[in-house]
Amino acid sequence: MKQYVVDASVSIKWFLPEVYSREALRLLNKESELLAPDLIFAEFGNVLWKKWRAEEIDADSATNILNDFRRIPIIISSSEVMLDVTWTIAEHYRRSFYDSLYLAVAQTHKCPLVTADKKFYNALKSTPLGKSFLWIEDLK
């Protein structure tokens, strides 16, 4: 079984039709084990909140999506356990603590972080952390 860390930019695409939704859905199979920091719940909820505020989805849809998201089998890592590794990444690479937390989970579990956040990916793809990344389109 192949492990992948997923971020909110990927997980939201499982529920809302967006660019790269088809690619993101490839992760929802029996051959993939998905991991994420506990932060993913707050980030996922915030994306839905923004879409609701922009009137792109209604409140009932957001609630249903949140309930469906809870059922996705994601192995959750505690942010508290990852604090030191996350800080080291954030400080060294000058990335947000939030983004660095996903990378800390990927490094700890020695598996790639799959992202659809182009700015985040481009900022680090040519650094030593680049090997910890997988752009959403590059999923096989």
Q: Among candidates 71, 79, 72, which has minimal Cα distance to 108?
A: 79
Rg (CA), the chain: 15
Domain ranges, residue 27: 2-138
pLDDT tens digit sequence for 30-52: 899 999 999 999 999 999 999 99
Q: DSSP string covering 58-115, please? A: -HHHHHHHHHHHHTS-EEEEPTTTTHHHHHHHHHHHT--HHHHHHHHHHHHHT-PEEE
User: Per the structure, how many domains does the chain have?
Assistant: 1
What mean pLDDT do residues 6-21 have? 96
Contacts of 100 by beta carbon, 8 Å cutoff, 6+ apart: 86, 87, 89, 90, 93
Residue 105, pLDDT above cutoff 80: yes
What mean pLDDT do residues 16-28 have? 95
CATH of the domain at 100: 3.40.50.1010
What is the pTM (predicted TM-score) of this model? 0.93
Residue 95, pLDDT above cutoff 90: yes
Residue 121, pLDDT above cutoff 80: yes
Q: Give the torsion sign (CA, 100, 98, 124, 139).
A: positive
Instruction: Say what the pLDDT of residue 132 is.
Output: 84
Helical pair 59-70 and 39-53, crossing angle rounded to 10 deg: 160
